[in-house]
Amino acid sequence: MKIDNGNIGHGIHMKKLLDISQEYKADNTINHMRKFVKKTLKEIFSVDISKKYTSFLSNHNEVLIKKILNDNDDDKEKNLKNYFL
């Protein structure tokens, strides 16, 4: 899906979800997996991002998702809410 004509911005204002922290990806226990499959994309990507992104806040993805879901563009908002909620 193309949004904002492909303009994702630059630097800390970039509208791109970043990799989540390794500690969330590495836990592959049965209990963790059972909880994981019940989560929404919003919940999965709202955890801290990887520490390799030193120029971004640890909650970059969470802030970006909130911004997207609170956008005033009704068509864009409706399409993205289907993905995240």
Q: How many CB atoms lie within 10 A of CB 65?
A: 20
Whether residue 55 is contained in a domain is answered as yes
How far is the CA of 23 from the CAs of 19, 61, 69, in angstroms?
A: 11, 16, 26
The whole-angstrom distance between residue 64's C-alpha and the CA centroid of its chain comes to 7
Residue 34 forms part of a structural domain: yes
In a domain, 4, yes or no: no
pTM of the full structure:
0.74
In a domain, 7, yes or no: no
Q: Structural domain of residue 40, as residue ranges?
A: 16-84
- Contacts of 52 by beta carbon, 8 Å cutoff, 6+ apart: 19
* Residue 10 resides in a domain: no
Q: How many structural domains comprise the chain?
A: 1
What pLDDT, in 10s, does the model give residues 2-28?
555 566 777 777 888 999 999 888 888
* H/E element, 30: helix 30-36
Tell me the per-residue pLDDT of 28-61, one tens digit each, with 9 for 90 and over: 888 888 988 999 989 999 999 999 999 999 999 9
Examine residue 65 and state whether it is found in any structural domain, yes or no: yes
Residue 62 has pLDDT above 90, yes or no: yes
Q: CA-to-CA distance for 39 and 77, rounded, in angstroms?
A: 20
